[in-house]
Amino acid sequence: MQKIIAIALNTFRESIRDRIFYSLLAFAFLMLGFSMILGNLTIGDDIKIIKDFGLGAISLFGTLIAIFVGIGLVYKEMEKRTIYVILTKPIARWQFLLGKYGGLSLTLMIEVIVMTIGLFALCYYYEPKIPWDLMYAIVPIIFKLQLILAVALFFSAFASPFLSGLFTLGVFIIGHSSGELKALADNTDDLFLQKICDFLYYALPNLENLNFKAKVVHHLPISHGEIVFSLVYAVLYTALIILLSIVIFQRRDMK
């Protein structure tokens, strides 16, 4: 466990020095500021617009950070050839991979916390009370980002950064279109297309299970059962993806 923690902390230090992380975080705060401007210009409930844009910014830019930082997880170490030095030490490959994931996971947590504080401050400016109800959307977003990071880890275990990013982005898009895929599979007469849609629907994560933004913004009822189911779903799926990543990385030829 100490080896995993040491690798995780080192990865965290490296990732927070990454210019991509700060660039995306800065752009996310610009989006939060834009939501305030839009709220002032739009006729209607400005606080709802700010919450909607703010939660969207946390989800979108958190996903971009997970992808852009996660896809170079193994490649950077191989390019610098530091992975060969690390693996000559008494460190198993699975420990290396879990440590890398843990470090990037911590980075994502910091990003979400910082953006959440910014969004809370913005909402408090318009409505002087702490919007704790936003946590019903933010906590599932955190779990979704961990899942996306695990997917990026999976692809980085055997593919180049470009392909890893492309595949992970594809999983993200399809994961948010699961309902449309299921509807297409049920309504099409093309058997081949139906099989493809069914496979994508059941094999890839349904990220809409973790999307409570609309319900929170519009004050729609959310049961604790919904939240618990979505979080357990995310944890199990993330664990499965990490396990598959370890299996692939264990068998990868490092020569």
CA nearest 36: which of 117, 133, 122? 122
Q: What is the pLDDT of residue 111?
A: 82
Report yes or no: 148 and 66 within 8 Å, Cβ to Cβ.
Answer: yes
Q: What is the pLDDT of residue 151?
A: 92
Percent residues over pLDDT 90 in the chain: 13
Across 12-36, average pLDDT? 66
pLDDT digits (tens, 9 = 90+) for 71-94: 776 666 666 666 666 666 777 778
Residue 220 has what DSSP assignment?
-
- Going by pLDDT thresholds of 50, 70 and 90, the confidence category of residue 241 is very high
169-188 b/e with 16+ CB inside 10 Å = b?
A: bebbebbbbbeebbebbeee
Domain boundaries along the sequence of the chain: 2-176+211-251
DSSP string for residues in 176-191: TTHHHHHHHHHH---H
CA nearest 112: which of 149, 176, 63, 172? 63
CA pair distance 116, 109, nearest whole angstrom? 10
Q: Is the pLDDT of residue 237 over 90?
A: yes
Q: What is the pLDDT of residue 141?
A: 93
Q: Is the pLDDT of residue 255 over 60?
A: no
- Going by pLDDT thresholds of 50, 70 and 90, the confidence category of residue 229 is very high
Amino acid at 163: L
pLDDT digits (tens, 9 = 90+) for 105-162: 888 888 888 888 888 888 887 778 888 888 999 999 999 999 999 998 888 888 777 8
CA pair distance 144, 127, nearest whole angstrom? 28
Q: What is the pLDDT of residue 41?
A: 58
Helices (H) and strands (E) in the chain, counts: 12, 0
Contacts of 77 (CB under 8 A, 6+ apart): 83, 86
Q: What is the pLDDT of residue 253?
A: 66
